[in-house]
Structure 1
């Protein structure tokens, strides 16, 4: 307990009394939501500019062994991985190796419709008549395209283009032990990323129909759609890199954060790999993650240089709420974030 209290003091020491009060109120309210949703373990990080406002764990990463969750606990983040896929894809676009309007069949992906493009997959507009409407769906087919263009497995592309350059040492793709062994044998420097990440990984849980918390196993999957394991601190590193345009240009990042339009001009809630939303005069760039035993919420408010990352070890941070429709305020965490840390600044 002393260690957690000390950490909390350090990360809030640069704030005014009023700011620190708001952060502590948010932290208390967040833990109340965790308890209400029966989420065993959770971690949160908030950063504004160069100041980390909060970095903390709540509950337990392992209920059976009573191991507390901390800011260093790693979690799988499901579809938050899609933002990384977008970054990797836009790098290849800026390198001239592919175009957003390229048909996917050019890269060996056959969807029985020659009109489906990479951009349709990236913007969730590939269903029915391509480009006609937004329907949140999987990103999995972007993985083989990226692999074909780059000549690398997707897990290597992610590791070598983002995780390693940013020293995201508590982050790794959830690949098989055999793949880890093969990869680390060829490149020993990647082994600590996997060792640290999976030694600190939270155990996954679900709620039974009777409301009991039950230990489960993670789905054995990784791809462009999901499967990254990371920590809240590492997500802050990734957010900072986005802001300084480390991986793609300022113009390219602006395109990523621009809401897509359907062929009829309807503005969707999604850009190129991120939800894009305006609320009370502020733009929010965000993504959620949700699958068995894992869920996440990752939010950027660029005008305030503010980032939030919340990760947990059930699907309940996202599962009860229709976040796929693109309304951040359907999330109780999103509303708490606004209420305690944004409302006064947007009034």
Structure 2
């Protein structure tokens, strides 16, 4: 029966990947890498299209991409590893960390959609609020997706550990997870030459409707919201290490995927570094990644209690073609054609008695 299950899984995966390639072409994505797992077993890993169109370099599951905000689940693991080591307190006020008061003043001065109501001027705001996207308004009372705030979460982690954030990611995640084609980059930390040479070229659709190369993303600081270059196989290695307990204790791992609750008990659609939702009776955790006009990504998990019901999808693309419309106050995985194709291809298994 187990061999039949594996065979059926792989048949469904092959059919799903053919559907993904059709969606890729429709969305005009030059290149895309896909990995599908059940529990810690890779069912199928494949590349579609080109990492570099002009040179006709094909995408493979080992092609590195800028995963953009898919870095946030990795950053959350770093935070919880420091919590487990007794170095970091998620409930310590942000104002107690070095330079945060200056950041707060500058952010409030800039205002806009991210900082117009950013509640950083007293001790109520904590790192937990920042990591759970509940830092706007009265902290902990509503969800507002705020990448610039999340990015600053790297500072407390580096401060308490006495290391750069990128070094923490390398030592606490990349190396223990065996992520062979992954690295951090920012304005003071260039990619290793071999990884830079293999990086998928970013593309966008220009005003004439042509798919053309994009400029590289602008230089960034050593922040927690992005900065990760990785292959689809390396995101899968991260997922396997997380699932198998090599990165976090079970209670810490569960806290990643526990929805934040308001003081009144209302459940919000974000945990620690992950979007959360129930879709057709299934518990989902995911994160998107987007560099507008350059890269996009989707990392989606089905979190059912039974291990043989736990599925993971990893999609990395060298254009923004994986994105879907979503407001900053909502989590709308059902609008992703790629996500719904995956969930339809692998429906919940019915138990028999």
- Asked whether the two chains share a fold, i.e. TM above 0.5, the reply is yes
**Mapped pair 1:122 → 2:110:** no
TM-score by length of 2: 0.85
User: Hey, what does 1:255 align to over in structure 2?
Assistant: 255
Partner of residue 30 from structure 2, selected from 6, 17, 40: 40
CA distance in 1, matches of 2:40, 2:84: 28
Counterpart of 1:326? Answer: 331
SS of corresponding position for 1:197:
helix
Partner of 1:74 in structure 2? 64
Indicate which of 97, 113, 134 corresponds to 2:87.
Answer: 97
What residue number does 1:229 align with?
A: 229
Matches within 5 A, 1:55-66: 55-66=45-56
| Partner residue, 1:246 | 246
CA distance in 1, matches of 2:67, 2:302: 20
- 1:58-101 deviation line (CA, Å, top 9, x unaligned): 11111111211112211111001011110011111122222221
Q: Deviations over 1:299-328 (max 9, x none)?
A: 12233232110000011211x332752122
Match of 1:113 among 107, 111, 121: 121
Match of 1:158 in 2: 169
Q: Which residue of 1 aligns with 2:15?
A: 25
Moved over 4 A (4+): 13-17, 343-347
CA displacement 1:280-307 (0-9 Å, x = unmatched): 2221111111113111101122332321
Distance in 2 separating the partners of 1:147 and 1:37 = 39
Residue 52 (1) aligns with residue 42 (2): yes
Cα RMSD of the aligned pairs, angstroms, is 2.2
Alignment partner, residue 186 of structure 2: 175
Q: Give the whole-Å Cα distance in 2 for the aligned partners of 1:14 and 1:218.
A: 46
Cα distance in 1, alignment partners of residues 315 and 350 from structure 2: 21
Normalised TM-score (structure 1) = 0.86
Residue 22 (structure 1) shift: 1.5
For 2:200, the equivalent position in structure 1 comes to 202
Aligned-pair CA distance for 1:248: 2.0
**Using the alignment, how far apart are the partners of 2:247 and 2:9 within structure 1?**
32
Structure 1 residues 244, 51: CA separation in 2 closer, same or farther (over 3 Å shift)? closer
Stretches of structure 1 that go unaligned for 5 or more consecutive residues are 1-12, 181-192
Deviations 1:262-288 (A, max 9, x none): 233221110011112122222111111
After superposition, give the CA deviation of every residue in 1:88-118 in whole Å (9 maximum; x if it has no partner). 1111112222222110011121224122111
In structure 2, C-alpha distance between the alignment counterparts of 1:133 and 1:49, rounded to whole Å: 32
* 8 Å contact kept, 1:72–1:200: no
Secondary structure of the corresponding residue to residue 49 of structure 2? strand
**Which whole-Å CA distance do the structure 2 matches of 1:295 and 1:68 have between them?**
18
Q: Is 1:135–2:136 an aligned residue pair? A: no
The number of equivalent residue pairs is 321
**Alignment deviations for residues 123-171 of structure 1 (CA, whole Å, 9 cap, x no partner):** 1111122222100011111011111111111111111111122221100
Q: What is aligned with 1:214?
A: 212
